[in-house]
Structure 1
Amino acid sequence: MTKLSVNINKIATLRNARGANNPDVVKVALDAERFGAEGITVHPRPDERHIRYSDVMDLKDRIQTEFNIEGYPDQRYMEIIRLARPAQATLVPDPPEALTSNTGWDTLKHQDMLRDIIAELHEYGVRTSIFINPEPKFFEAAKATGTDRVELYTEPYASGYHRDKEMAVAPYVQVAHLARELNLGINAGHDLDLHNLKFLAEKIPFMDEVSIGHALVCDALYYGLENTIQMYRRQLETEN
């Protein structure tokens, strides 16, 4: 079954609003694992508007499932990965000032840079994933970088889901099969929620992982964190 990695950035945003340590980011991460999360994702931006450098260092020896660190691969990010040695490094192309990730890598244009970065990450023993748009032209180029996985950028799917879910998912199914042929692992993330997740999982039952934060934390306000994590995991159960 596709694994659920819980992104805890929004927990850190809530904590930072008051300047103390409530909610406790490490405790929430450990509780999320206890409640059924199969991974914890963070995106430590340079301005530390949510996850801080210190959070990563506090989490790195406490996570019992898989620790996934997202980020733009500048010198700061690479140093974080070198010190934290997470299970996975997910490379995203957004600049530091971006509100959130909003596109995937152009793996044709940035292939040489990505190849060098991924080679360094592999030296640290870290699995790599590249955030990528659902366009076939980027997948063979992604394979050439040496990455282990690709993460499908699913905002366009989420935006089109309520208008025509079959049309919205079609390009993702196409590139997922291409990734599989290229022996690339498949992750997915961005704007996935309790409405659209199950359909995606049914159409691509061989996904390795989905990373979900904003929607899951919002749902937890109503349903509670433990119940919400279980609800998301049920969306990933398929008969395939």
Structure 2
Amino acid sequence: MNTSLSVNVNKVALVRNTRHLGIPSVTKAAQVCLRAGAHGITVHPRPDERHIRAQDVHDLADLMKQWPGREYNIEGNPTQNLMDFLGAVRPDQCTFVPDSEDQFTSDHGWNLDDTATRERLAPLIRAAKALGVRVSLFMDPLPEQMAAARALGADRVELYTEPYAAAWASGVESSIQEQLQRYAATARAALDVGMGVNAGHDLNRDNLAPFLRQVPGVAEVSIGHALIADALELGYAATVGEYLRCIEAGNKAG
């Protein structure tokens, strides 16, 4: 399987929002990344518009119409503002994330052991799929929850990879391998029940290929913070090229 790269452009918007000049341009950043070979663009428009604004969601939807075959992914909590965006622009994919409105960044997946959570998500998943939007659930690496995600109607899961990234940064090989085994087992469990597997959060040029070597069937990685940080030094196009090479290396060895 060839893993797709979706570039999260939230941090471009964050820099832009510090002034009133409209630069750097979110749509220009997305266009350069697409030209460089990125397979998709991701945004997470939070209710407070601290980075991506409602207008960005629509502007990017217009841009993506010019790139058939590339995917537009909108992340967010479906109990906040996400469903309105899905109805308005109908992206290729939505990723349901259990963030509170004031949460600094995504830091956990859905707990599908909780009956109330399942009852809340089920009709929202149905509504998104009725719009023709693929639904991915942001999940921790817990193999035992994959069947529940599928039962709710999810098409994919996005595995929250910060615990792996933290283990990698520690340099402790036993911790790295322990985390990789968790993610591999979870990916297999998702694949076994017929779901696709995405991954994202703190993946970077150092840890991406090793992750893909050991975690089977990853259809897409969504990368924002590290990629945009690298782009400050290398430029968008060169950075996308570097991440595509990491993906190629990981897929070849997998």
* TM value normalised by structure 2: 0.92
Report the AA paired with residue 172 of structure 2: R
Other-structure match for 2:84: 79
| Residues 1:191 and 2:202 are matched in the alignment | yes
Q: Which runs of 4+ in 1 moved over 4 A?
A: none
CA deviation vs aligned residue, 1:21-78 (integer Å, no higher than 9, x gap): 1111111111110011100000000110000001101111211210000001125221
Q: Could you tell me which runs of 5 or more consecutive residues in structure 1 were left unpaired when the two chains were aligned.
A: none
- DSSP 3-state at the match of 1:151: strand
Residue 206 of structure 1: which of 186, 204, 217 is its match? 217
Deviations 1:101-134 (Å, cap 9, x if unpaired)? Answer: 0000012211121111100001100000000000
C-alpha distance in 2 between matches for 1:104 and 1:111 = 13
CA contact 1:2–1:205 (8 Å) conserved in 2: no
Inter-partner Cα distance in structure 2 for 1:3 and 1:77: 23
| 1:155 lines up with 2:128 in the alignment | no
**Aligned residue number for residue 171 of structure 1:** 182
Range 20-29 or range 144-153, more displaced? 20-29
Aligned to 1:128: 135
Give, as a single letter, the amino acid of the residue that structure 2 aligns with 1:197.
L
Is contact 2:143–2:187 with CA below 8 Å preserved after alignment?
no
Deviation at 1:95, TM superposition (A): 0.5
Q: Which region of structure 1 is more displaced relative to structure 2, 2-11 or 22-31?
A: 22-31
How far, CA to CA, are the matches of 1:122 and 1:180 in structure 2? 20
State the AA in 1 paired with 2:71. Answer: E
| SS class of match (1:14) | helix
Name the structure 1 match of 2:22: 21
Q: What are the residue-to-residue correspondences of 1:1-240 with 2, within 5 Å?
A: 1-63=2-64, 64=67, 65-109=70-114, 110-161=117-168, 162-164=171-173, 165-237=176-248, 238-239=251-252, 240=254
Q: Which amino acid aligns with 1:143?
A: R
SS at match of 1:107: coil
TM-score calculated relative to the size of structure 1: 0.97
Answer yes or no: is the 8 Å Cα contact 1:188–1:211 preserved in 2: yes
Indicate conservation of the 8 Å contact 1:115/1:144, yes or no: no
Question: Which stretch shows the higher mean deviation, 48-57 or 133-142?
Answer: 133-142
CA offset at residue 205 of structure 1?
Answer: 4.4
| Greater Cα offset, 31-40 or 69-78 | 69-78
Tell me, in whole angstroms, the C-alpha distance in 2 between the residues paired with 1:8 and 1:222. 16
Q: Shift of the alpha carbon at 1:136?
A: 1.8
Aligned length: 240
Residues 129-179 of structure 1: CA deviation (Å, up to 9, x unaligned): 000000122111111110000000000000112222222211000111111
Distance 1:123 1:21 in 2: 35
* Higher share in helix: 2
